[in-house]
């Protein structure tokens, strides 16, 4: 959808090659510009994959976040978004890929990354009535790339793994 306004530049979000997003402002002809709104699933997918989801009670936390045996769990160790309390039916926003920070380079780690990405994006797929697919592949030492496709949009997240 495009909205025309007099003497306003064109405003749009453009994902860069490394997955970052830039806000792009372009002037139109004779000083007349447009506000270009992204109607794709890119923004919701970026939020879903780029937000840390709260760890489940049975998730193993990365070693840097665990307390010694018998000690209380550090505040915020399970991460997550405080706004989850506002979501219905115990829903949670975000991805648990952050749990893979200390994971080993194994096929099981890649499968977990795919599950976490699918879990993060499934509410978006359900809302829009479409399918989401996720794939993970090792891209080098300590780098796991997780790709998600939904509604004609593809997004790749780089997950640092030790």
100-140 tens-digit pLDDT: 998 999 999 999 999 999 999 999 899 889 999 999 999 98
Residue with tokens 């447009």: 34
The string of pLDDT tens digits covering residues 11-64 is 555 665 655 555 555 566 666 555 555 667 888 898 899 999 999 989 988 866
Global pTM reads: 0.74
Closest CA to 39 of 82, 1, 7, 75: 1
| Residue 39: strand, helix, or coil | coil
The alpha carbon of 152 is separated from its chain's Cα centroid by a whole number of angstroms, namely 17
Q: Distance between CA 94 and CA 124 in Å, rounded? A: 11
Tokens of 41: 């699933």
Residue 66 has pLDDT above 70, yes or no: no
Query: Which pLDDT belongs to residue 7?
Result: 46
Q: Distance between CA 115 and CA 142 in Å, rounded? A: 19
Query: Which pLDDT belongs to residue 18?
Result: 54
Query: Which pLDDT belongs to residue 43?
Result: 84
């Amino acid at each position: 959808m495009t909205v025309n306004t007099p003497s306003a530049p064109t405003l749009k979000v453009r994902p860069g090659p490394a997955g970052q997003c830039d806000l792009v402002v372009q002037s139109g002809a004779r000083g007349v510009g447009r506000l270009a709104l992204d109607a794709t699933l890119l923004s919701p997918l970026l939020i879903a994959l780029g937000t840390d989801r709260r760890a489940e009670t049975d998730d193993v936390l990365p070693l840097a976040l665990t307390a010694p045996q018998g000690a209380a769990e550090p505040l915020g160790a399970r991460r997550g978004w405080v706004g989850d309390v506002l979501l219905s039916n115990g829903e949670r926003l975000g991805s648990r890929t952050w749990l893979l920070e200390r994971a080993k380079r194994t096929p099981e780690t890649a499968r977990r990354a795919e599950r976490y990405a699918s879990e993060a994006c499934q509410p978006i797929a359900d809302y829009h009535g479409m399918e989401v697919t996720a794939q993970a592949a090792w891209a080098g030492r300590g780098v796991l790339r997780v790709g998600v496709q939904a509604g004609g949009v593809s997004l790749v997240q780089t997950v640092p793994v030790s």
